[in-house]
Amino acid sequence: MSKIGQKHIEVPSAVNVSINQKNVIVKGLEGELTIVLPDKLEAIRQENNLIIKRDGEDKKTKSIHGLYRQLVSNAVTGVQKLWEKRLKVVGTGFSVKLDKEDLVFKVGYSHLVVYKKVPGIKFKVEGNNIAVVLGSDKQLVGEVAYQIKILKKPDVYKGKGIQYEGEKLRIKPGKKAKAAGAPA
């Protein structure tokens, strides 16, 4: 049995959840999201709780039960308080700024790199080296943050580039450090 799939999803009073056959529509202050449930799953509303139930005990249904429960839970959380990913631009002369609704990066190329606004996502810049990606859809926030990160992946020798805030990088030793540490 799925342990996560059995948990109830608590729905706050500020969030409105409506169930239309296989569609779970979640509305809140920060937006609206729709999750389409597969055939063997159904959503049931009980007072201020939401339960995802499954019909059948086949392996596929059991495996997706917890997944869809968590997707609905993330939607309820996202329309109440936006999900965020913070990216740090590291390197001498590297910076990020907001131009209208687009992000403009200066990351060591001969040109500026512009990342266009994505529907459902908001950008915020703190200082000149931290970009914040905000949105109600957790998956979309993660995808956009990753696409921004691969504009300039962190260098394995110096760590220069775009990385998630708090990310631990494994920095390789250079030639001199490697040669100095080798026994003669």
Q: What is the pTM of this model?
A: 0.86
pLDDT tens-digit series, residues 101-138: 999 999 999 999 999 999 999 999 999 999 999 999 99
The model's confidence at residue 47, banded by pLDDT at 50, 70 and 90, is confident
Domain positions in the chain are 3-80, 83-164
Residue 179, pLDDT > 90, answer no
Task: Look at residue 24 and tell me whether its pLDDT is greater than 90.
Answer: yes
Token pair of 6, please?
């059995």
Domain covering 3-80 in this structure, CATH number: 3.90.930.12
d(CA 102, CA 112): 12
Residues sharing a CB contact under 8 Å with residue 120, sequence separation 6 or more, in sequence order: 31, 135, 136, 137, 140
Position 2 scores a pLDDT of 60
Q: What pLDDT, on the 0 to 100 scale, is given for residue 118? A: 94
Instruction: Calculate ∠ Cα 108-114-116, nearest 5°.
Output: 155
Q: Which pLDDT score, from 0 to 100, does residue 97 have?
A: 95
**pLDDT tens-digit series, residues 148-166:** 999 999 999 998 999 999 9
Per CATH, the number for 83-164 is 3.90.930.12
**Distance between CA atoms of residues 109 and 94, nearest Å:** 10
Query: Which of 26, 3, 2, 4 has its CA nearest to residue 15?
Result: 26
